[in-house]
Structure 1
């Protein structure tokens, strides 16, 4: 009996030792697969199926193949959404052609390598001596930073500066005066092809007052928000500008929410509903109503008509003009219109000294340029 007991104790000790070793071997694997960081000594590969998961588990960075075609991409998706939806794609216009791909840090840059170790995408930063770390933040921003400095103002590179088709909370759109980079959204080519599509959504500030523009092929204007009047965009009071050159939005709850461009020339607000496990698409975010269709000149009694490219004053494309030209000087009626989208201000005169309707009328009647345009003033009477 004693011998049996010794054998039992030895077997129990061996079993405990084996379990102990299994736990030691298994624990790092759990740690590796759940991390949100990538160091200079690590890599992500398609074959390993390893991903980076943001703290809180909302976002996941990894490789994906959206269709039957031999194209692989590196992207960030909503991890808690059952319908695989990607908010950002690194190599959208240069996919991997085989299932061999590697993301690694080399020369203090992120490099995406193909089967021949050729770089198909990289962060294009100057070489540095200090060690760097890549990580996915809780808001879905994929950043490259100094290993010992997590100050957001000193990130070396971040995916939020290079949006795809989706505007996430805390992401900015517009022109960065410091870096000279212009942030804008570009639609997917199709539902299963993340390559750059035909539509772009941008906060344009180079000409006139800031205004959101939805363009086709970087040219034709499909829709616009109306110019910024200092408090809001005249075409949509729901949108507020933070600063003068940027637009961003913040979440007031923990819903999974984003704004994205689509290939059907629309801008959609989408919210994930966990009860029905589907994206709930709201109305077009900025652009509703026939006034946004530049080729619509109204009914037969309307005082506008179609004009070809060379005749349309202040535009680079065809559109609507007045049938009867206005005269300069004299007495004309001015009407106050509420909830009206103002024309773009590319060829307008901006006079910040105008504070009421009377001064607006005097200014317009004193300038003969206005006979080819209607005199307009965007006045917001709310306390500053």
Structure 2
């Protein structure tokens, strides 16, 4: 490296995001070098660049890490040149090659954030440029000690309506869902919050997703580990360790198309797969037409008939189906979406595109797979034959009546239990009032003459003092009774 040009050779350098270190400068000029044991530190001291060996490996790699933390973050290979370049480690952790004295980050020659490796940091992007075809995506390591690209990657699939996917090699292993205005439907926990903000951009030039820190003191990362699990963690200063906020791929319902078409997967149920209303399993060994034993999925009980005014059944709390072949329109209303779906015999389902604004239309023309959530998720309207929908409604009416009856009976029972309690309360209050009145009546009554004699005609010699009710007198015994007069 030297002279007027500075290139990065793929065979010589693998840039990696890890975590630990020390140094004094954040820029390298042409003709300068960093030796093993020397480092670059960003201006604010958040990130550091130097040499490291992951795990027990004896190999040495160039890496970038959080300066006060201790875990590998990202990797990248690239070769690029500039006329009068310098390399600078920014406070965001982004290593950039740029023209000397040009601080416009829009004109940088190369940046490590374009090659995230296995870690995704605030201000990084995952997505694709539609004009150039350039793609930013995460790639797992081969192992915890080998930062060579592993078999898993996280990408934005741009087909149909773009969605978040995890691939194992060239196959989709996990579908994170599409962006609904608040979060990817697989994970409601990605909703906007006081700590992180999330942004999904889709236009004619590009599609990408990024997240930012609302609190500059928060140290955060999204890591794709060698087993294909994605973990969102923050650094716990008190414990000096990463604290995992959530992990994907923690159960079978996250497996791509686990239950097959027209079936939902519910993690806390057994068996987890069940056919949608109006559908029956293609193959089953349980004898239950609604139970799905394999990924064969389900088929309609009654075929659609466009001339009989087919209608839609509403399902709630779902991860929306695969959108790689879906059609989207951001300006249509939900009613317009329904009308459009009814005019096409190939339409299978529709949903709101943006739940935050309550606008937009997503339409599916292919078989659909779904996951059901206890909380969160989205509404999906699945097309059924009119006769089948009538049958479902007739079947559910007795259940609704039973539900109303149960609620009514429960209310009556509750009222029946409360009435005796209320009567006892009123009775006890009345008895307490009578007792108080009796106590007042039973106080000894005295005439003025008796009191005057007892106080020696209110003599000052018997005056004890004065209070809020008048003078207080000491009394002498009258027929064996001590008296005090308050006047």
> What TM-score, normalized by structure 2, do the two folds share?
0.56
> What TM-score, normalized by structure 1, do the two folds share?
0.70
Aligned counterpart, 1:368: 345
Aligned counterpart, 2:126: 173
Secondary structure of 1:378's match?
strand
Pairing of 1:31-50 with structure 2 (within 5 A):
33-46=23-36, 49-50=37-38
Find the partner of 1:204 among 142, 157, 160: 157
Aligned counterpart, 1:327: 304
**Paired residues, what number?**
300
Asked if 1 retains the 8 angstrom alpha-carbon contact of 2:233 and 2:246, the reply is: no
Unaligned runs of 5+ in 1: 1-31, 92-122, 308-317
Q: 1:121-151 deviations in whole A, cap 9, x for unaligned?
A: xx4225x4x3211011001000001111011
Cα distance in 1 for residues equivalent to 2:318 and 2:162: 17
Unaligned runs of 5+ in 2: 1-21, 192-197, 266-270, 285-293, 360-487
Secondary structure of 1:350's match?
strand
In structure 2, relative to structure 1, the CA distance for the partners of 1:380 and 1:69 (3 Å cut) is closer
Displacement of 1:67 after TM fit? 4.1
Secondary structure of 2:339's match?
helix
Aligned counterpart, 2:68: 80
Aligned alpha-carbon RMSD (Å): 2.9
Asked if 2 retains the 8 angstrom alpha-carbon contact of 1:225 and 1:286, the reply is: no
Aligned counterpart, 1:228: 179
Secondary structure of 2:323's match?
coil
Asked if 2 retains the 8 angstrom alpha-carbon contact of 1:74 and 1:89, the reply is: no
Asked if 2 retains the 8 angstrom alpha-carbon contact of 1:295 and 1:319, the reply is: yes
Asked if 1 retains the 8 angstrom alpha-carbon contact of 2:161 and 2:325, the reply is: no
Cα distance in 2 for residues equivalent to 1:60 and 1:369: 56
Secondary structure of 2:199's match?
coil
Cα distance in 1 for residues equivalent to 2:338 and 2:52: 59
Aligned counterpart, 1:112: none
Pairing of 1:1-384 with structure 2 (within 5 A):
33-46=23-36, 49-81=37-69, 84-90=70-76, 123-126=78-81, 128=82, 130-177=83-130, 179-205=132-158, 207-217=159-169, 219-229=170-180, 232-237=183-188, 238=190, 240-244=198-202, 245-253=207-215, 254-284=217-247, 290=253, 292-296=255-259, 299=271, 302=275, 303-305=280-282, 319-324=295-300, 326-329=303-306, 330-352=308-330, 354-357=332-335, 359-370=336-347, 374-380=348-354, 382-383=356-357
In structure 2, relative to structure 1, the CA distance for the partners of 1:269 and 1:193 (3 Å cut) is same
In structure 2, relative to structure 1, the CA distance for the partners of 1:151 and 1:324 (3 Å cut) is same
Displacement of 1:33 after TM fit? 3.7
Cα distance in 1 for residues equivalent to 2:355 and 2:68: 45
Q: 1:20-49 deviations in whole A, cap 9, x for unaligned?
A: xxxxxxxxxxxx941111110210122xx1
Cα distance in 2 for residues equivalent to 1:345 and 1:60: 40
Larger radius of gyration: 2
Asked if 2 retains the 8 angstrom alpha-carbon contact of 1:225 and 1:234, the reply is: yes
The more displaced of 255-264 and 374-383 is 374-383
Secondary structure of 2:318's match?
coil
